[in-house]
Chains A and B, each alone.
Chain A
């Protein structure tokens, strides 16, 4: 089955990101396809590579980046939500006159159309959040 996954909450504060991660790993193991992972609301905070949790805790951001690389996942961060919350890639940083970008490897910033498109192209959209 083709799944699209939406994550609406930030890492650590909320379990949504962990649950989504576990869901995706399990779905891939069963041979399903994850056509896109879309980060919205505070979920965009999963995409900052400036996250430095204590060493004995899981690094949620790195974990996403590694999963994306291993399975060639399309991880999309909503641009409007990202701008509000200070998540920027190189292009966004330039456009908005920021002195740095902070997006982690494997993530890309794009529009909400990517969420709707994922809804159209997938068999199921699974939403993680409150």
Chain B
């Protein structure tokens, strides 16, 4: 039996958006969201990631969570490009509220206003928020 992602079915590509709203540590949402993102990329879907609210901290450079017994999984965000996950959007307002600029982030992102993010969300087929 072939795996579903091996089916070369035409028109089976959907726009998936993953909205990451939580800090990388403290809860497991960020880590488990990343696991879904990687799987959806394996299904060759059109994947976008949004980082909003405390979710912007997921992309912060120089994370060092070993002292609280957590594995630093932030390197995975840098590897997303290799999975053809290249559409990373960050909520501008959330960045500003937290005193962050693009230079603080470990990957290239597009900063969007809430309105622009809303428009982008409207274009999606599947929106999963974590």
A interface residue numbers (CB < 8 A to B): 6, 8, 40-41, 80-81, 84, 111-113, 115-117, 119-120, 125, 127, 130
Main secondary structure of the interface of A (DSSP, over half): helix
Provided the pairs A113-B5, A113-B39, A117-B4 are in contact, do residues A127 and B129 lie with their beta carbons within 8 angstroms? Answer: yes
**Is B45's beta carbon under 8 Å from chain A?**
yes
Interface of B with A (CB < 8 Å)? 3-5, 12, 14, 16, 28-29, 32, 35-36, 39-40, 42-43, 45, 125-130
Residues in B with CB closer than 8 Å to A116 are 16, 36, 39-40, 43, 45
Q: In the complex, what distance in Å separates the CA atom of A112 from the CA atom of B42?
A: 11
Chain A residues contacting B130 (CB-CB under 8 Å) are 8
Residues in A with CB closer than 8 Å to B43 are 113, 116-117, 120
A6-B128, A81-B32, A127-B129 are contacts. A120–B39 as well, Cβ < 8 Å? no
Q: Known contacts being A81-B32, A116-B45, A117-B4, is A111 close to B39, with CB within 8 Å? A: yes
Instruction: List residues of chain B with CB within 8 A of the CB of A130.
Output: 29
Min CB distance, B91 to chain A, in Å?
18
